[in-house]
Chains A and B, each alone.
Chain A
């Protein structure tokens, strides 16, 4: 065992990358759940985003266009969920599971031609001299634009929910949809928009895996990140900053266990592989003692009949 092969700078830079897909997917789901909708289709929307982004980037040669297509693809798929749950009033849990299964299958179909293809690389943001700062430069200022977009989005969602009227209305709809309806707010419209936002975020997260983190296309490559995102939202008590913390924790331990495997630590690989899931959930369970944080209308079907 030789722990000295782990380079701390590369390690930190690596876990920021590992956490980014999770940040996008979980942040989107957080907004969806704050509006009172439980969408279990995150995994499906991510994988659709991954293939849409991958295919578009390969065809056009532009990774940015790829990310754009990924967001659109995720949002379009989420519209299916919105139609099922908001218009036909189908059960949200069943619809979400169906969305995941559909996404996994459909992405495999779309991706047949792209197995083994290499996508164009997204350049790092040029921070000029900042990049040359020792340690901080490679850790903080050597990433692509999408990673920074994720961080900006966390701040934007936090501020949007807390300080803007739109955020207040969204929280109100998630808290008590009957009362929001009685005050004249369009519950279905607000929720549909939230679901689309969640779909777009999940799509971006998926494309981040296929275009930057891995970067290649394989079937089912999101490998459960969507499910972790769902758990993360709950354990983060529906709070954006806590969600960021959880995503970094998960990304950090994922990166650490990969490094430990590389260093040949004498722990069975299976234990190392499961450690990020176990540790992230344990820490967040301890953090989320406040169980009453759930939006009160979460998962309940709204019908404007009364």
Chain B
């Protein structure tokens, strides 16, 4: 690749008060190249792509596109220059239709009817089935992502930026996405690909740039580098793989028997006759595409949505009708997925948040009076044991980065010595080393005879830590199978295959 690069960044620097997000970052991407951008949370990947997309202006340094200066003042300029971006948190409007959403991301959107026609054409050409008239709020995560991708494709991008595109997809959907990306790359579209999933990067990307603390710390060719080497370059130290001693599980702690429950929300998924047993010292991994009953299952297990008596037994005792506090007292603890607003109260301090779930089991409350010094000690213990990076326990939950808050939320439950711990998406948006620490903590917990249920969308994670694997699909739980030896195809079938594939033919 000796010819002019499509995009060349040199010496880009961007500082925010108190932190240098990008420090002298240089990068070259050739036409048709699939280039991976790697780094932990806070390494500056997002800031870098936001500068390319015109959302953030660099303090210094310059960007060149096809050899001419490229300095987008706003996303409009970047789009006009042929840069498209698929966001990590989908930037879609739930109440609008697919076509309207796409029109919003285009410069000169044609009339909706012509646009609908174009959407159908592009979606067929690239194997991304999508119906233009549907309301985005009703689409699955994979379909939503197609909306974003098609929005970019309609503008003939020369460079497509993808921020964590596969975190919400089934293996089959990932396959479809990769086919599309390879096709685009063959047609000369360069792709800047951000992901935490190193195996994916190895199979897809031509080259990779690794960022750490805002600086470029290395380049590599993913196909010739192991995932472990890349992870260690990102972290800057050797990585510990979670370990466990293969231990025989004890007696059944949690017995879920034909658990059925309506969803509390109108767009939710009801649970249908879920039956599973979890033994002491066992980790049950539950996979499945988001929206197939994960939130409802967590609510049923935590007691937020109490269920009929006889559906859930703990140590042989019926806990179905009990609420969250009663279950917490028994030792059934949960950590929901949504960090801000569900697992933690955003505007309360870490001490107050520690009090909120710890009161019952850590004896932070006596006859209705709160023991704040004890809550503070508890919060500080979590911060220390789980390496939560924050100036102090008096900071509000909102001020922590996602990964740090996640460590706090998981740590808070783990340190309450649960008999049963249910976690949903324990390492979502958390970088490699923190994720490894959280997984290790969950395994240690199982080691100490707790029953652990991990609900996750990250299959690699589930395969790494689960003893048993089951999948949620349309509110039903598949038969749990030993995690060891399961193939990707088998898992994909348990999850119900590719979702929404029929939609486009309607």
Contact = CB atoms under 8 A, between A and B. Distances in A.
Given A165-B103, A168-B104, A172-B104, A179 B75 contact: no
Given A168-B100, A169-B104, A172-B104, A184 B95 contact: no
Contacts of A165: 103, 109
Given A165-B109, A182-B87, A183-B105, A172 B93 contact: yes
Contacts of A239: none
Interface string A154-185: 00000000000100110110011011101111
Contacts, number: 48
Nearest to A304: B55
A182 B103 contact: no
Nearest to B74: A184
A23 B360 CA distance: 55
A205 to B, nearest CB: 28
Main SS of chain B's interface residues? loop
Interface string B45-58: 00000000011000
Interface string A29-69: 00000000000000000000000000000000000000000
A178 B96 contact: no
Contact of B75 (A175, A183, A295, A296): A183
B499 interface: no
B91 interface: yes
A182 B55 CA distance: 7
B94 A168 contact: no
A184 B87 contact: no
B11 to A, nearest CB: 25
A168 B103 contact: yes
Contact of A176 (B54, B74, B92, B103): B92
Which of the listed residues B76, B90, B94, B104 has the most CB atoms from chain A within 10 Å of its own CB?
B104
Contact of B94 (A169, A175, A178, A184): A175
Given A182-B55, A183-B104, A184-B54, A296 B94 contact: yes
A239 to B, nearest CB: 13
Nearest to A305: B16
Nearest to A291: B266
Contacts of A292: 266
Nearest to A163: B112
Contacts of B103: 165, 168
Contacts of B91: 176, 178-179, 182-183
Contacts of B54: 184
A180 B105 CA distance: 9
Nearest to B108: A165
Looking at B75, B91, B95, B103, the one whose CB has the most chain A CB atoms below 10 A away is B95
A182 B50 CA distance: 9
Interface in B69-119: 74-76, 79, 87, 90-96, 100, 103-105, 109
Given A168-B104, A172-B100, A179-B91, 20 more contacts: A165-B103, A168-B103, A171-B93, A171-B95, A171-B96, A172-B93, A175-B94, A175-B95, A176-B91, A176-B92, A176-B93, A178-B91, A179-B90, A179-B92, A179-B93, A180-B93, A180-B104, A182-B55, A183-B105, A292-B266
30 contacts: A165-B103, A165-B109, A168-B96, A168-B100, A168-B103, A169-B104, A171-B93, A171-B95, A172-B93, A172-B96, A172-B104, A175-B94, A175-B96, A176-B94, A179-B90, A179-B91, A179-B92, A179-B93, A180-B93, A180-B104, A182-B75, A182-B87, A183-B104, A183-B105, A184-B55, A184-B74, A184-B75, A184-B79, A296-B94, A296-B95
